[in-house]
């Protein structure tokens, strides 16, 4: 009877262990399901924002086209007299072109699939400049000085819209880290990594910085240093997009000394005759 009682207790302990393991597995499964659901909700919101942005951009294009058409009509009507107002007319032309360029970049950012055939050879300096246009207003309002350190660099093979999405995210983060102004330094240069030729982009700010503990989590989904703001997905998605093209994002930061984000992408030579 004692042996039977011992075996029953052992069996009960085994059952309890199995129940605990199953409970833990179910808890983990539920947590993953909840995270996946949240990510799907955010993705749906981002898709909606993209649709709205594209719609607004198209609506802006219509009145801009009317303005340009009337400027051309004014020149035709005035004839030789239009030379007297050349400065004003040329200024309007320049501003119309500026609006058109901004709208084009906004459309490319909101719906990159309509403007890019997946991966293509991209000039990273041009991609940075296009991204700066989209955050120029925030730069001016924040009193931030922009410093460019560009060196000659080869093109990289990546979806242009995805690279721009990553760069805009890093620029916005840097601007938000300097609410009282500061210096935003952008660097482009060639750099080898593990013997592979590539291009390095650096986005450096002189902002509030990130603590060592938070630094280990910045690329985790849903982690954010901006309490009550943001989804915590920006850097996680950025890392996935860069990795998809064989690159990597790294970060250095110290509290009250600013942060530096590095994007490295492998060089992809353009084959002539293709």
Residues 111, 129 within the same domain? no
Give residue-wise pLDDT tens across range 208-237. 888 877 777 677 665 565 554 444 456 777
In contact, 238 and 249? CB cutoff 8 Å: yes
Domain boundary among 48, 83, 115: 115
Q: How far apart are the first and last CA of the chain?
A: 85
pLDDT recorded at residue 59: 78
> Does 143 reside within a domain?
yes
> Does 240 reside within a domain?
yes
Domain boundary among 70, 92, 115: 115
Give residue-wise pLDDT tens across range 154-205. 999 888 878 888 898 899 889 988 988 899 999 999 998 888 899 999 999 9
Q: How far apart are CA 10 and CA 230, in angstroms?
A: 51
- Closest residue by Cα to residue 130 from 113, 110, 106, 148: 106
> Does 273 reside within a domain?
no
pTM of the predicted protein model: 0.60
Give the range of the structural domain holding residue 245, as residue numbers without chain letter. 119-266
Which pLDDT tens digits describe the chain residue by residue (274 residues)? 777 777 777 777 787 778 888 888 888 888 877 777 766 665 665 666 666 777 777 778 788 888 888 888 888 888 888 888 888 888 888 888 878 877 776 666 665 555 555 678 889 999 999 888 888 888 888 889 999 999 999 999 888 878 888 898 899 889 988 988 899 999 999 998 888 899 999 999 999 888 877 777 677 665 565 554 444 456 777 887 888 888 999 999 888 889 999 999 998 754 444 3
Question: Based on the structure, what is the number of domains in the chain?
Answer: 2
Strands (E), the chain: 119-122, 144-150, 156-159, 182-190, 198-204, 248-254, 258-266
In contact, 222 and 233? CB cutoff 8 Å: yes
> Does 272 reside within a domain?
no
- Closest residue by Cα to residue 251 from 192, 183, 181, 166: 166
- Closest residue by Cα to residue 146 from 105, 101, 179, 183: 183
What mean pLDDT value characterizes the chain?
A: 80
Residues 186, 98 within the same domain? no
- Closest residue by Cα to residue 263 from 134, 232, 246, 222: 246
> Does 144 reside within a domain?
yes
Domain boundary among 115, 148, 164: 115
> Does 274 reside within a domain?
no
């Amino acid at each position: 009877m004692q042996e039977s009682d011992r075996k029953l207790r052992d069996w009960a302990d085994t059952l309890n262990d199995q129940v605990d393991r199953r409970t833990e597995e179910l808890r983990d499964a539920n947590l993953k399901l909840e995270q996946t659901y949240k990510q799907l909700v955010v993705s749906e919101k981002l898709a909606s924002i993209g649709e709205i942005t594209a719609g607004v951009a198209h609506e802006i294009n219509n009145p801009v086209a009317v303005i340009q058409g009337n400027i051309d009509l004014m020149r035709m009507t005035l004839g030789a007299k239009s030379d007297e107002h050349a400065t004003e007319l040329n200024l309007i032309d320049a501003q119309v072109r500026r609006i058109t360029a901004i709208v084009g970049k906004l459309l490319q950012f909101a719906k990159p699939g309509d403007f890019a055939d997946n991966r293509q050879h991209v000039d990273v300096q041009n991609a940075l400049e296009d991204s700066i246009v989209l955050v120029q207003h925030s730069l001016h309002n924040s009193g931030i000085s922009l410093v460019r350190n560009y060196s000659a660099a080869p093109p990289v093979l990546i979806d242009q819209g995805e690279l721009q999405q990553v760069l805009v995210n890093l620029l916005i983060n840097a601007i938000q880290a300097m609410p009282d102004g500061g210096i935003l330094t952008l660097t482009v240069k060639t750099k080898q990594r593990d013997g592979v030729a590539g291009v390095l982009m650096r986005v450096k700010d002189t902002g509030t910085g990130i603590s060592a503990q938070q630094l280990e989590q910045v690329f985790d989904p849903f982690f954010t240093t901006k309490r009550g703001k943001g989804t915590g997905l920006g850097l996680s998605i950025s890392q996935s997009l860069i990795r998809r093209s064989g690159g990597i994002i790294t970060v250095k930061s110290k509290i009250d000394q600013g942060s530096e984000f590095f994007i490295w992408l492998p060089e992809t030579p353009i084959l002539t005759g293709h």
